[in-house]
Amino acid sequence: MTIRIKVAAVAAAVALGVVPFTASAQQFVNILTGGTSGVYYPVGGALSKIFTDGIPDAKVQVQSTKASVENLNLLQQGKGELGIALGDSVKFAAEGNAEAGFPQPLEKLRGISAMYPNFIQIVASEESGIKTLDDLKGKKLSVGAPKSGTELNARAILGAAGMSYEDLDKVEFLPFAESVELMKNRQLDATLQSAGLGVASLKDLSTSIPITVVSVPEEIATELGAPYIAETIPANTYDGQSEDVPTVAVINFLVSSDEVSDDLAYEMTKLMYENLDQLKAAHAATNAVDVQNALKGMPIPVHPGAQRYYDEVGVSAE
């Protein structure tokens, strides 16, 4: 068939309203997560399975990233349909905080749902002698990838305790798994990881060397204010942790953009909440996901598609 005949055939099909299905009708969903040793990645994997099963013709993929800050910038650039991010990062992104990695306000971001709290977990090797925040002075600490959500948390926590990176002997800007490897090799004294409870990297560390989970007192949460809250890491979350340990936490949010259609945002929101059992099977941290809290503390406008679902089930921000 010549090109001229092909064009004529397509034109005829259009005139008759019977244009055949093409690949362009396929729905692409790129889920932006974090490092493979964190919590975002398995949560993204569970959402991928839910969406693949529930959205006809969907091509869903999970992308490992540097987490919160990168996810939000990628969403603004139209390089993802869904991402997970810490509440303080989302707030900074909406405001345009250059120090946090957002030179300009990210105006395309739209909220899908509050998720679960990230616990600020500071874990030291037992031999380092670190037990309190003040003990970190003069020690070697990893604070997460540069300008990641974890690193923003690290700056905030140290600042509220009257400290800065200059008070430390050495600061490493490394992802969770790499931080743990350096601790195993006695090249680091401690790691600060902002993640759901039972994060794989710290479970690995606690089964490899004796650890101390460092206490973060409630007054730090009070000093920081929203979106930080006082929380507790329950005893036996990690090997060798025999007692509850106070810390602070930040709520994670599921975020999309205004380039995502209302129908897709609606379907993603509805499918997630109708398949919470699958989500919760992916990681214990997601046990905290509750539709009644979906809009609480949302720092950006809610996506109209997600709002449609919440209107149907009677959930409000109040």
Per-residue pLDDT, 148: 86
Rg (CA), the chain: 22
Category of 236 on φ-ψ map: left (φ > 0), alpha (ψ -120 to 50) or beta: left
If you average pLDDT over residues 282-296, what whole number do you get? 94
Contact 69, 308 (CB under 8 A): no
For residue 110, pLDDT over 60 is answered with yes
Q: Which of 157, 162, 90 is nearest to 120 (CA)?
A: 157
Answer yes or no: is pLDDT of 15 > 90: no
pLDDT per residue as tens digits for the range 74-104: 999 999 999 999 999 999 999 999 989 999 9
Residue 173 CB partners (closer than 8 Å, separation 6+): 142, 143, 144, 145, 146, 151
Query: For a pLDDT cut of 90, what percent of the chain falls above it?
Result: 85
164-196 b/e (C-beta count within 10 Å ≥ 16 → b): eeebbeebbbbbbebbbbbbeeeebbbbbbbbb
Return the CATH number of the domain spanning residue range 27-117+252-313: 3.40.190.10
Examine the pLDDT at 13 and tell me if it is beyond 80.
Answer: no
Per-residue model confidence (pLDDT) at position 25: 64
The per-residue pLDDT for range 166-215, each reduced to its tens digit, is 999 999 999 999 999 999 999 999 999 999 999 999 999 999 999 999 99
> What confidence category does residue 261 fall into, taking pLDDT thresholds of 50, 70 and 90?
very high
Whether residue 267 is predicted with pLDDT greater than 90 in this model: the reply is yes
Check if CATH label 1.10.490.10 holds for domain 118-250.
no
User: Is residue 23 very low, low, confident or very high in pLDDT (cuts 50, 70, 90)?
Assistant: very low
pLDDT at 59 over 60: yes
List where CATH 3.40.190.10 sits in the chain.
27-117+252-313, 118-250
pLDDT tens readout for residues 211-246: 999 999 999 999 998 788 899 999 999 999 999 999
Q: For the segment 111-167, what is each residue's pLDDT rounded down to a tens digit?
A: 999 999 999 999 999 999 999 999 999 999 999 988 788 999 999 999 999 999 999
